[in-house]
Amino acid sequence: MMQARRSANPLVRKLEAFTSLSEVECVALEALGASSETVPSGTDLVLEGDKPRGILLVLEGMAYRYKMRVGGARQIVAYLVPGDLGDLDAGLLDRMDHGIATFSACRVTWIEPALLTGIRRSHPKIDRTLRLGTLVDEATLREWVMNVGCRTAVERLAHLFCELFLRMDVVGLVTGNGYALPVNQAELGDTTGLSNVHVNRSLQELRRRGLIHLGGKTLTILDMPALRALAEFKPDYLHLSRHRAGLPFVSVAVP
């Protein structure tokens, strides 16, 4: 075994994509996932206007941040996959300007701000890496503005699938070039600024070109180079220095 056994805690797995952690640091982080709760799909974890309570950590499942228009239109502004953490400094805000809900059943935990602060103070490397994670979240938002701002429907979906592939791979949730995507077509529409009808047609286009297979809430990427080329996907904004993001077909299971 060249590689150390990977932690069961997705936050540890994610941070290890940015840096190498010591045993002590891993243990400190593992404690964060100790007590967790499981919520069904479609649960509102945070409502717009709420006072933030603790820092959300997703351990299993997929969730999303969203904003609503008065007419009922919804814009999904971020996906949360296992290992993703809510805003580190959420405690500074008096009220949330957006909501968070679950795509699928999720195992989540709410971290006491003081607890996290303590860990960050006693483990500078963890602190640095968490702050780096925040920068990546911001970079991802910029990429999403780009996505809805100047890509076509097919390109937007392709880009989303490329991004999620890497983010899921980092936490070891890609198997055989596929990953769980418990998101229906209407939700993909709210993500990409498209109607559900047009999402449907664009997905057919991606399938017809032999780029993806999407069924049973699992997305499989059949031709990663072509999908990346179509989306003009440049993974640098995810800053996964230790992860072999440049390789077209990256999988965790490596000798």
Partner DNA sequence: CGTTGCGTTGAGAGGCTTCAACCTAGGTGG
Partner DNA sequence: CCACCTAGGTTGAAGCCTCTCAACGCAACG
Q: Which of DNA, a second copy, none does residue 251 bind to, with CB < 5 to 8 Å depending on kind?
A: none
Nearer of residues 81 and 90 to a second copy, judged by Cβ: 90
Question: In terms of CB distance, is 192 or 202 closer to a second copy?
Answer: 192
Alpha helices by DSSP H, the chain: 10-15, 23-30, 113-122, 124-150, 153-170, 185-192, 196-208, 224-231
Task: Identify which range of 91-99, 106-114, 163-171, 244-252 contacts a second copy by CB under 8 A.
Answer: 91-99
78 contact choice in DNA, a second copy, none (CB below 5 to 8 Å, kind-dependent): a second copy
Interface region with a second copy, contact rule CB under 8 A, candidates 145-153, 159-167, 172-180, 244-252: 145-153
Tell me: does residue 145 bind a second copy (CB under 8 A).
Answer: yes
State the number of binding residues for DNA (CB under 7 A).
Answer: 18
Residue 41: strand, helix, or coil? coil
Among 26, 78, 166, 226, binds a second copy (CB under 8 A): 78
Map tokens 């008065």 to a residue. Answer: 70
Q: Which two tokens stand for residue 35?
A: 């007590």
Site for a second copy in 165-204 (CB under 8 A): 192-193
Q: Tell whether residue 244 is a contact of a second copy (CB under 8 A).
A: no
157-216 positions binding DNA, by CB under 7 A: 184-186, 189, 193-198, 200-204
Q: How far is the CB of 110 from DNA (least distance, A)?
A: 26
CA distance 252 to 176: 10
Query: What is the number of H-type helices and E-type strands within the chain?
Result: 8, 10
Mention every residue, 6+ apart, whose C-beta is less than 8 A from residue 192.
147, 148, 153, 156, 157, 160, 199
Please list, in sequence order, all residues whose beta carbon lies within 8 angstroms of the beta carbon of residue 32, skipping any fewer than 6 positions away. Answer: 9, 11, 57, 109, 111, 115, 116, 119
Q: Which residue has the tokens 């990427």?
A: 221
Binding mask 89-118 for DNA (x = CB under 7 A): ------------------------------
Residues that bind DNA (CB under 7 A): 152-154, 184-186, 189, 193-198, 200-204
